[in-house]
């Protein structure tokens, strides 16, 4: 974490983000929750906010972004470009995760899996939005990564969606007990 971290403001922003997400899932026309299930939707289950899962990562740029093929939940394969690697400390050890750019997307994509998948969280893994464009990321030295914002892709709510499955190179061997938990009512 950075020295200017404001825990109260962070908690408020995280709470607001979660309320907005729950409202979107319950009421929005583009919600991935099937319309006949929305009336009974009482909100997602989340891990308690934990600043230990908010890390400052060093950015290792890739001189030649490479293509990575990812399987999807419906058996297709998609290709994204691995543009950088984020290096950070989490749970007392050095970790790293690759960052991808999906064709047609403005912001970068950070999928990951961990030991909570299939029990406490969505079986195929979760995603984080990096919140910056590729050029912006490559101009920085560090980036704050907040696993408290980790979320399940739309295919966790409905099998009509087709989502990339985080590849093996994105597996963290430590349980990431932050962000969205597995949805039990759908």
The confidence score (pLDDT) of residue 139 equals: 87
Q: What is the pLDDT of residues 68-87, one digit of tens each?
A: 999 999 999 999 999 999 99
**Largest CA-CA distance found in the chain, in angstroms, rounded:** 49
d(CA 180, CA 31): 16
d(CA 106, CA 136): 11
Q: Which of 84, 91, 85, 83 minimizes the C-alpha distance to 55? A: 91
d(CA 142, CA 132): 12
d(CA 129, CA 101): 11
The confidence score (pLDDT) of residue 179 equals: 98
b/e map of 84-103 (b: 16 or more CB within 10 Å)?
A: bbbebebeeeebebbbbbee
pLDDT digit of tens for each residue in the chain (186 aa)?
A: 445 889 999 999 999 999 999 999 999 999 999 999 998 999 999 999 999 999 999 999 877 888 999 999 999 999 999 999 999 999 999 999 999 998 888 889 999 999 999 999 999 999 999 888 888 887 899 999 999 999 999 999 998 999 999 999 999 999 999 999 998 754
Q: What is the pLDDT of residues 97-128, one digit of tens each?
A: 999 998 888 889 999 999 999 999 999 999 99
């Amino acid at each position: 974490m950075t020295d200017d971290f404001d825990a109260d403001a962070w908690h408020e922003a995280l709470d607001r983000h979660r309320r907005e997400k729950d409202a979107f899932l319950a009421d929005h026309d583009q919600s991935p929750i099937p319309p006949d299930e929305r009336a009974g939707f009482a909100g997602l289950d989340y891990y308690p906010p934990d600043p230990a899962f908010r890390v400052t990562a060093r950015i290792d740029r890739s001189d030649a972004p490479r293509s990575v093929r990812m399987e999807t939940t419906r058996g297709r394969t998609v290709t994204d470009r691995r543009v950088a690697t984020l290096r950070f400390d989490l749970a007392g050890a050095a970790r790293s995760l690759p960052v991808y750019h999906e064709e047609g997307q403005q912001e970068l994509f950070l999928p990951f899996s961990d030991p909570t998948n299939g029990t406490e969280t969505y079986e195929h893994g979760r995603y984080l939005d990096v919140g910056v464009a590729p050029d912006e990321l490559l101009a920085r030295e560090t980036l704050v990564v907040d696993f408290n914002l980790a979320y399940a892709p739309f295919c966790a709510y409905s099998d009509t969606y087709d989502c990339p499955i985080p590849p093996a190179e994105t597996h963290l061997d430590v349980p990431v007990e932050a962000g969205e938990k597995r949805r039990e009512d759908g």
